[in-house]
Each structure stands twice: as structure tokens, then as C-alpha cells.
Amino acid sequence: MSELIISERVSQAARRDILDLNNRIQAFNSGDTPEEAFRKFRLTRGVYGQRQPGVQMIRIKLPFGRITAEQLVKIANTSDKYATGNLHATTRQDIQLHFVKLADSPQLWADLEDAGITLKEACGNTIRNVTGSAVAGIDPDEPFDISPMAHAIFSYFLRNPICQDMGRKFKISLSSSEKDSAFAFIHDVGLIAKLGTNAQGENVRGYKVLVGGGLGAQPFSAQTAFDFLEEADVIPFIESVLRVFDRYGERVRRHKARMKFLLNDIGLEALLERAREEHKALKSKRFEIKTTIPNDISGNYSDRPSLSEQEIVDLAQTVLAAEEQETFIKWLQTNVFEQKQKGWYGVNLRVLLGDMHSDTARSLADIVTRLAGNDIRVTVNQGYLLRFVKGEDLPSLYKELKALGLANPGFDSTADITTCPGTDTCNLAISSSYGITRALEDVMHQEFPEMIYNQDIKIKISGCMNGCGQHNASNIGFHGSSIKNGKLVLPALQVLLGGGFTGDGIGLIGDKVIKLPTKRGPEALRVLFKDFELNAFEGEYFNQYYLRQTKNYFYQLLKPLADLSEVKDEEYRDWDHDEMFKTEVGVGECASVLVDLVGTTLIEANEKLALAKESFEAGVWADGIYHAYNVLITGAKALLMTTDVSTNTQYGIINDFETHFGQAFRYSTPQEFALPEAEATPFKSLAFSLNKFEPTQAFANYYIETAGKFLQFINATREAQLQETGAPQLKELTFGQDS
């Protein structure tokens, strides 16, 4: 492994992360770190196993999808050097690189950090990329720009101890208006910008707050926690909820470990009450948000004269050939809008499959530096948004984008399908997402060209039920599946209808209607379009039509396409594949091995203690306390693993440890930090004092020191066990897929 080169511009925190990843890779390669423990580690550094053995997907974390031209060039160059030259935009506004060698990932990260781009916590049981409306800051309908809040949430929780080792991933979105263009209703915490009134009767910024949404095999719509929460209270609320999720959330049954299941189990009121109980221990009781983001350019653009569509078309006649005029008008009508800054225009780029070649990305970056503001946004439907374009430059911009294949009209229309990579790279995918997406877009281009103007029906596709393509949240959704037909298996599509937004802006989860062979997907689309055209009322939205006709109507409508009495040979082959189909779901990030899990867990506990002491030395008392709390949980879990007790939630671990080992652990509690039950339940009292006191220097000192004594007790007890048995106990360790 060659020596790492890390620029002086890289922060100390990022430098440490990169070096740590490099060291862990070496330890893994030498056999010093078990595969499963290493997998858990690398996921939180954005390094993700692919379907193909020996290569990784690298997920680049781009808060609210914001990227500069220089950063786009850096990502393109990095993809050329370490990956395939492709940049894949995701529904979380990330960019992914595929087919990267594990050994190259530290240097790849270092190269990106040189441009201010991180991989930290892009995967794993952490807060994933914070998504936000791509139009934020230029949205004519927004009460204010949500970009500063999105950036603050990203910054506040990056490397924050409360979200480094949760039971599952946690997703946050911010929408700039009631249109909910960032899909708050499918997030663990979804925020929708609003103006309201504070206790003093003053007009202030704030958010409608939704909690507990999520997709996957069991999708849930989020519930409203607050109709209006003042801006300064939002981050403290999120931190409180995270602390509750961390302590009470499921950790064994990974399919039940999301926030939505905790909410479903205990109810909204109980969740909010537990969150209120965390308030005393928070690092920030209120968190004021700066009104700008780093390198904000929006303030540099004053209003200028607006141009009508006809004026722009007239200008185009001097720039474009006659045969380009018609397509330019379509592009102008479907991909371009005037910003809230008068005379400036936002331009959306429709990108098939979300994939952009590195050469195209570099050329796009050059166009941005000349014809747009240096603030590109990756969109939640896998496209890109250029901002602050002059009206008179639109014809020239169109011509240059067209040369790159980036001027296709119909952005975010029915014809603009959102899809995950499916079986091209993902271990969990069952059937091809890319192939069926191309087929459906071809059908619309050839038979339903008017669909580029349709903003009512959204189509989304995932390669499996897990929902990376957000199929549950679309009017027409498909996810990859399979159907048995005798001894053979056909690639299939599960059809979902009625998800996404209704005509009044309410977000819904789609219904599973029917499963049919994937090669019949285009015909299913034809049937749905023609039926809607013939039978919908004037002005009726697709979801309104679906609810009026009911699920059974559509089941009967599509049922002939599910008939397997006559199956053509080609239907046993997936899109883009010549071989006979067979289900090959890889183990990916799901595997079980025998390791000394107790020893590995104790190593984690010691690392957390070091972090606690480091935070204390830096004067960040709250972080030090939470790291110390994690020492208690991790140490207790390690010792419980040596028994027949199954460890699950942190709350359960605390109670079980108290029952089995608590009486053996003793420590001295200063009077000011003593709880009434201290003598009866010493360990439980210590752990649960986490949220009973202000995060002062004195409490942090006591809590961290006591956590150190506890870890000494754990190590001594474990050593005695090993001397008695003569060998470490092996446990089966399973990590679930974390897409």
C-alpha cells in the first residue's frame, strides 16, 4: 500500500479519519481485524461492498446536494483515477463511484477532502446525507432559504457521538415549501419551512416537523410532531429524538430497527415525552442558525429585468438552427423556471439513470463557470440544477448542454424516471432497474411524447423492496422481484400505485397491486396510461383517480398481464441480459462469521473511552459524557455476550447487566450526582444519570472517570472468565444490509 498523500487543506478531523481507515484496512488485510467488525467500520466511512467481489462503491456525502464547479471536476477526476469514470447521482443527492479497490479508498477520500468533500457517515448506522429542496434559495414559493439549516444539521451531527453507532440509519430532509419537494413524509425527521409566531408574538422562521417516516418492505408515512417549531429549537429536538432512538431502538432484528418501528411501538406522545426528558442533558438548548451557508453566492445577484418566454424564443432564433427551435421551446417550458430573484433562471438537467460520464461532468463544470452561478445542486430525482442563469444566456446554454446530452426536455415529469442501479452493482437487487427504466422511457418517448409535460404522475423504480429508488413514494412504482413458473424463474416487477403526492400536496405510500413478468412492464404502463386517459374525470389527478377506482379495479385491469399460461422464452431473461434469469441476491453487507465478538466489543469500548477523554480535554463536555455513556453500553454488552442473555436495545442492556452483574460493580458517587436508587441499582443509576444533569465540566469529569472504572471492572471480569475457561468464547456476528 503506497504512502498516503493528504493536503494541508484537509482538516485535522478528516485527516484522522482517513489515516484511521488506512490503518484499519491494513489490519483487516493482515487478519488482525475480523471481517464483520471491519465492515461495520468502513460503512460509516462511505465504503460499501458491491455485488461484484473485490470492489467497493464509494458514496460521496453532499449535504442538500450542493456542489461547486471545482468540486464537480474533482469528483470527475477522482472517478477517472480510482473508479470507472462514471458519476451516479442518487435520490439522497449523493454521488456514488463504483468499482473502487478497497486499498485505494483512503487516498480517494484524501483527494476529495482536499476539495471540501467528505465520505464520513455516508453509509452505516449514522445520520445519512441531509437532503433538501434543490430549489432552496431560489424557490419562488419558499418563505425562506432552508440551505443554512440543512448545512447546520449536517455540521452539527457530523462526528457527533450520539449518532455514531445507532441501531440503524437515520434520514433527515428539509423542504423549502408546503410542496414538500424533499419528501419529508418518508423521513425519520422531515422538516418543511414555515413562518410562525413565537411566545413574544414576533414573526419568526420555523418548520413543520414530521417524524417516523420510511420506505423499504414496510413503509410508513411520517407523523406530525409539530405544526410549527421555531428554527432555533429544531436541532435540539433532533438531538433529543436521536438520543431516544439510540437508547430504545431495536438492534437485533435489523428489519425492525428503524425509527418508524420505535414510533409505531410506543406512540408519538411517548416518543415526544422521552425526547423532552433528554433536554437537560443537551449540548445546545437552543441553536441559532446563521442565515447564510459557506461560500454563499445568492447575495451577489440583484434583480434584473425578466424576459418573457417569447422574448427568450426570439433570442434563440439568432443562436439556434431552425430544426432546434421546437425542442428548445419544450426544454424551456419543462426544464427552466424564473427564480425568486427576478431576471435569473434555474435550469434543470434531466440525466438518464442519474449517470454522468466524467468528461461530461468536466464540460458541465466549465459551462457553469461561464453561464451560471457556482452553486450546482444534485436533485432528489437524480438530476442537476443550475442556478442564476441570465435569460439572454438560455439559448447559448441550451446549445452547449445539448451537445453534452443534457438538454432533454421533461425534467421531473412522468417521462423522467427515478431508479436505483439494481443488479448492475447492488447485492440486494433482484432484477435489473436500469434495463426496465430504459424500456419504459423508450415507450413514453415513442408512444406518449406528451408525458414530458405531465407533472402529476411520477414513476420510480427499485431493484428490490428496500426502496433506494423510492418506488413506495411514487404514483406508479415498480420494484424488482421474481416469479416461479414450474421449475423456472422469471424476473418480475411488483407494481405499486397511489403513492407520492395527491393533488392537495399530501404524501402517500403506494399500494402493492400485482406482480408481473418484468418484460411486460412496458405493456402495463400502456394499460395504465390509456385507462387513465379514457376514464379519469376532467382535471382529476392520478392518485385521486386511483382512490376512486380502488386497488381491486387496477388489480383486475393488470391481471391479464400476470397470466403465466403462455410465457415467451425472452421473458425468462431480464432486461439487458441474454442468459436465463435466476435469483442471485448476494450477501453483500449481510453475512455471519465466528469471531471473538467479546474481545472485539471490548476494543470498541476502549476506543470510546479514549474519545470521551479527548472530548473532555477539548472542553466539549456533552460529547465527552455521551462517549462515556457508550463505554458503559458497549462494556456491558461485551460481558452479557458471555452469558445466554440476548442483547438488544441499550435500555435492555442496562437492565440485563444490572440483573446479572450490577451488584458486583461498585463506585463512589459524589452527593450532587447521586440518584435516589443509587444504592440499589448502581450500574443502572450511573447509566440513566446521562439525562438527569446539565453537561457541566464537573459532571463530565465524574461520568468519564466512572466509565473508566467500569471498563476496568469489565476487563478484569472478562480476564477471570478466560482464565477459568481457558479460551475465548466465539459468538456469531451478523450485520444486515445497510443501503
pLDDT digits (tens, 9 = 90+) for 265-302: 999 999 999 999 999 999 999 999 999 999 999 989 99
With CA atoms as reference, report the closest residue to 477 among 454, 457, 491, 452: 457
Three-state secondary structure call for residue 139: coil
The answer to which of 198-207, 576-585, 673-682 has the lowest mean pLDDT is 673-682
Tell me the CA distances in angstroms from 611 to 596, 606, 627, 631, 644, one per residue in order.
Answer: 23, 9, 6, 10, 30
Question: 565 Cβ partners below 8 Å, 6+ apart?
Answer: none
With CA atoms as reference, report the closest residue to 479 among 447, 534, 432, 526: 432
DSSP secondary structure of 429-453: --S-HHHHHHHHHHHHHHH-GGGGG
Q: What is the pLDDT of residue 680?
A: 57
- Is the dihedral angle over the CA atoms 654, 659, 663, 664 positive or is it negative? negative
Separation of alpha carbons 193 and 178, rounded Å? 7
Query: Cβ–Cβ contacts within 10 Å for residue 259, how many?
Result: 29
The answer to which of 37-41, 193-197, 282-286, 625-629 has the lowest mean pLDDT is 37-41
Helix ranges (H only) for 33-91 are 35-43, 69-82
Tell me the CA distances in angstroms from 378 to 97, 182, 351, 597, one per residue in order.
Answer: 15, 12, 11, 40
What does pLDDT average to over the chain? 91
Three-state secondary structure call for residue 668: coil
Answer yes or no: are the C-beta atoms of 736 and 255 closer than 8 Å.
yes
With 0-12 / 13-18 / 19 or more C-beta atoms within 10 angstroms meaning exposed / middle / buried, residue 332 is: buried
Three-state secondary structure call for residue 692: coil
Answer yes or no: are the C-beta atoms of 89 and 464 closer than 8 Å.
no
Whether 735 shows a pLDDT value over 60: the answer reads no
The answer to which of 177-181, 462-466, 705-709 has the lowest mean pLDDT is 462-466
Answer yes or no: are the C-beta atoms of 653 and 637 closer than 8 Å.
yes
With 0-12 / 13-18 / 19 or more C-beta atoms within 10 angstroms meaning exposed / middle / buried, residue 310 is: exposed
pTM (two decimals): 0.92
Q: What is the pLDDT of residue 161?
A: 95
Question: 335 Cβ partners below 8 Å, 6+ apart?
Answer: 347, 348, 349, 350, 407, 409, 410, 411
Answer yes or no: are the C-beta atoms of 358 and 87 closer than 8 Å.
yes
Confidence grade of residue 596 (pLDDT, cut at 50, 70, 90):
low
pLDDT digits (tens, 9 = 90+) for 144-200: 999 999 999 999 999 999 999 899 999 999 999 999 999 999 999 999 999 999 888
Helix ranges (H only) for 478-570 are 521-535, 542-549, 551-558
Q: What is the pLDDT of residue 714?
A: 92
Whether 682 shows a pLDDT value over 90: the answer reads no
List the domains of the chain with CATH numbers.
12-113 (3.90.480.20), 131-281 (3.30.413.10), 304-403 (3.90.480.20), 418-572 (3.30.413.10), 591-735 (1.20.120.330)
Three-state secondary structure call for residue 650: helix
Mean predicted confidence (pLDDT) in 52-76? 96
Q: What is the 3-state composition of the chain as percent helix, strand, coil, each rounded to the nearest 5? A: 45, 15, 35
Separation of alpha carbons 733 and 600, rounded Å? 11
Confidence grade of residue 584 (pLDDT, cut at 50, 70, 90):
low
Buried b (16+ CB within 10 A) or exposed e, 548-557: ebeeeebbeb
- Three-point CA angle 651, 237, 156, nearest 5°: 95
pLDDT digits (tens, 9 = 90+) for 218-257: 899 999 999 999 999 999 999 999 999 999 999 888 888 8
Whether 429 shows a pLDDT value over 70: the answer reads yes
Strand partners, 196: 204
Separation of alpha carbons 379 and 192, rounded Å? 17
Q: What is the pLDDT of residue 503?
A: 60
430 φψ region: left (φ > 0), alpha (ψ -120 to 50), beta (else) = alpha
Task: Read off the amino acid at residue 673.
Answer: F
Mean predicted confidence (pLDDT) in 121-135? 95
Whether 593 shows a pLDDT value over 80: the answer reads no
Give φ, ψ of 508 to 5 degrees: -125, 155
pLDDT digits (tens, 9 = 90+) for 466-522: 878 899 989 999 999 999 998 899 999 999 999 998 766 678 899 999 999 999 999
Q: What is the pLDDT of residue 739?
A: 36
| Largest Cα–Cα separation, the chain | 89
Percent of the chain with pLDDT over 90: 76
Confidence grade of residue 722 (pLDDT, cut at 50, 70, 90):
confident
Whether 1 shows a pLDDT value over 70: the answer reads no
DSSP 645: P
DSSP secondary structure of 670-684: -GGG--TTTTT-HHH
Segment holding 208, helix H or strand E = strand 203-211
With CA atoms as reference, report the closest residue to 599 among 722, 459, 441: 722
With CA atoms as reference, report the closest residue to 152 among 283, 212, 63: 63
